Amino acid sequence: MIAALALLLAVQGAPATSPGAPPQAPVAAPAIQAAAPTPAPDAEALTRVRLSTEAGDILVGVDTKAAPITAGNFLRYVDQHKLDGVGFYRAVKVADGYGLAQFGTRNDSKRTLPPIKHEPTTLTRLSHRDGTLSMAMAKPDTAAGDFFITVGDLSSMDATADTPGFAAFGRVLEGMDVVRRILAAPTSPTLGEGVMKGQMLAPVIKITAARRVD
């Protein structure tokens, strides 16, 4: 069931009113396994960012050492205040205690920066564990301004020798209770297209500010 989550994750690849198509689903890991994830760095080694939302604050730590491309992209959105006023717009509920909450610019041309090169977990050695901050994308090298936070161990979203996976680049340091509330928030039975139908939060939970924390 958890492996199927990758099929459900899609970035908003068109204007904000038109959700994009889902990416191909990573398959089960082949015989050749990727390198084991490195131990999570101490919080002090991470660049901290506070997401102030209508549901409460979420403090995330961004790993600029392990994932410099993806972490740097997120910090550009923060530093240019492009996440102020966007929202958590999607809640993917896979099973009890498992899922993800997705937020970002939804391809708003006034907010979205150019896409970045995919930075797979086979390179960064990060993993999609409980509270991981990662990039939403339709396919490699298309990720731009949409992100998600995992609830539960979703390491099936990591890259393998045959699949690109998604680009993890940080983790929640404080506020997982807020993330879980967002995941449990009401969704519309009619909004969304394809696999995303029924996953769109109604109403969207706004991010009022995203700022670095010294």
pLDDT of the residue at 190: 95
Return per-residue pLDDT of the chain as tens, 214 residues. 444 454 445 544 333 333 333 333 332 222 323 345 555 667 779 999 999 999 999 999 999 999 999 999 999 999 999 999 999 999 999 999 899 999 999 999 999 999 999 999 999 999 999 999 999 999 999 999 999 999 999 999 999 999 999 999 999 999 999 999 999 999 999 999 998 999 999 999 999 999 999 8
Radius of gyration of the chain (CA): 15
C-alpha span between 38 and 43 (Å, rounded): 14
Nearest in space to 169 (alpha carbons), one of 34, 75, 102 = 75
Q: Which two tokens stand for residue 89?
A: 């717009």
Q: Which two tokens stand for residue 2?
A: 């958890």
pLDDT of the residue at 31: 30
Could you tell me if 20 and 134 are in contact, meaning their C-beta atoms sit under 8 angstroms apart?
no
Note the pTM of the prediction, 2 decimals.
0.84
Which CA distances in Å does 212 have to 76, 82, 161? 11, 13, 35
Indicate if the alpha-carbon torsion angle 117, 120, 126, 130 is positive or negative: positive
C-alpha span between 181 and 159 (Å, rounded): 28
C-alpha span between 15 and 106 (Å, rounded): 7
Phi, psi of 120, deg, nearest 5 = -70, 160
pLDDT of the residue at 185: 98
Write down all domains in the chain, each with its CATH number in brackets: 47-206 (2.40.100.10)
